[in-house]
Amino acid sequence: MTRHFLEVDDLTPDELEEVLALASVPAGFLPRTLEDQGAALVFEKPSVRTRNSTELAVVALGGHPVYIQGPEVGIDTRETAEDVARTLACYHAVICGRVLDHRVLVRMAAALDAAGLDVPVVNLLSDRAHPCQALADLLTLRQAFPDTAGLTLAYIGDANNVWRSLAIAAAMTGIAFRTASPDGYGPGPEDLARLAGLGLDHLVTTDPAGAAAGADALYTDVWTSMGQEEESARRLRDFAGFTVDEALLARAAPHAVVLHCLPAHRGEEVSAGVLESPRSLVWPQAANRMHAVRGLLAWLGGARPDDDGDLP
């Protein structure tokens, strides 16, 4: 059965470890699982990190990335998501999409499965999830801390796509998780049930200082995500007090690090001082996007770590 990657828990915890092990292998040592094959990268929203990291990862695996902007293919306007997927599968070994509506990726994967086409769909960010980001986040945490199991990660901000994938990744790797969001922007009952089902040790609060207290890592994301621009003024008001700034970082453990998926809005979800401080891992985190997606694409293409769990 074709394996798609629409959310982190499309992998089992063991498979997640395999992907992370492959992501830690230098590019030239991975099998070229995309040799002479295409990779469709469909973007309905802008990107700096995701497009560039995925293109370079495809090249490192011997493949040819084709970047396609949303209006060119016109998903569900020019033709259906199903027809777009089946057409791209005529040329490409993998279809990666950054979409406005997560259900488009689900429909694409279902259409390929129904047609018996062995082409994985990879989520490069939807309104619901950003699983490739979460892979890079795990890599970054593991570079900073020898043992991430039992670590406490505090997410301060909007319980949106990046938060959801990060929380799922935390659940699958034994990281204790705290979520601090203003009223109305926290996790819903469905998310809480899903995360509880995955065994997440989870504190949910509206108090950022309480969430940050003693935490090993603080994480934040923009207050206004792509597609929510008309809510920006209201969100600026509602998220006041949720900036990851020097005062909040001082509540965390003395060794605490700061992560942010980027793009950052200095003075909103993060202060300029914290973002640029030695405690900030945002640049290695951005670099890890490429290693993470290279490991994922290699895994989807059949590569596995050897018995020692590292080099294939």
Minimum CB separation from ligand NVA for residue 49, in Å?
7
Q: Quick check: helix, strand or coil at residue 49?
A: helix
Q: Which of the stretches 47-55, 100-108, 207-215, 271-279 binds ligand CP when contact is defined by CB under 6 A?
A: 47-55
Nearer to ligand NVA, 226 or 253 (CB): 226
Concerning whether 308 is annotated as a catalytic residue, the answer is no
Minimum CB separation from ligand NVA for residue 47, in Å?
8
Minimum CB separation from ligand CP for residue 130, in Å?
6
- Beta bridge partners, 258, equal 218, 280
Nearer to ligand NVA, 34 or 139 (CB): 139
Concerning whether 228 is annotated as a catalytic residue, the answer is no
Q: What is the dihedral angle through the alpha carbons of 59, 61, 66, 71, rounded to the nearest 10 degrees? A: -110
Minimum CB separation from ligand NVA for residue 158, in Å?
7
- Selection from ligand CP, ligand NVA, none that 160 binds (CB < 5 to 8 A by kind) is ligand NVA
Nearer to ligand NVA, 50 or 271 (CB): 50
DSSP result, 241-267: T--B-HHHHHHS-TT-EEEE-S---BT
Concerning whether 69 is annotated as a catalytic residue, the answer is no
Concerning whether 221 is annotated as a catalytic residue, the answer is yes
Check: CB of residue 242 under 8 Å from CB of residue 156.
Answer: yes
Residue 79 CA to residue 194 CA, distance in Å, equals 33
Concerning whether 133 is annotated as a catalytic residue, the answer is yes
Concerning whether 266 is annotated as a catalytic residue, the answer is no
Of 168, 145, 277, 265, nearest to 215 by C-alpha is 145
Check: CB of residue 274 under 8 Å from CB of residue 244.
Answer: yes
Q: Which of 16, 20, 49, 282 binds ligand CP (CB under 6 A)?
A: 49
Catalytic position from the list 92, 98, 128, 235: 98
Catalytic position from the list 92, 137, 261, 291: 261
- Selection from ligand NVA, ligand CP, none that 24 binds (CB < 5 to 8 A by kind) is none
Catalytic position from the list 221, 235, 260, 294: 221
Residue 89 CA to residue 109 CA, distance in Å, equals 11
Q: What is the DSSP letter of 206?
A: S
What's the distance, CA 14 to chain centroid?
A: 18
Minimum CB separation from ligand NVA for residue 226, in Å?
4
What is the chain's Cα-based Rg?
19
Q: What residues are annotated to the active site?
A: 98, 130, 133, 221, 261, 289
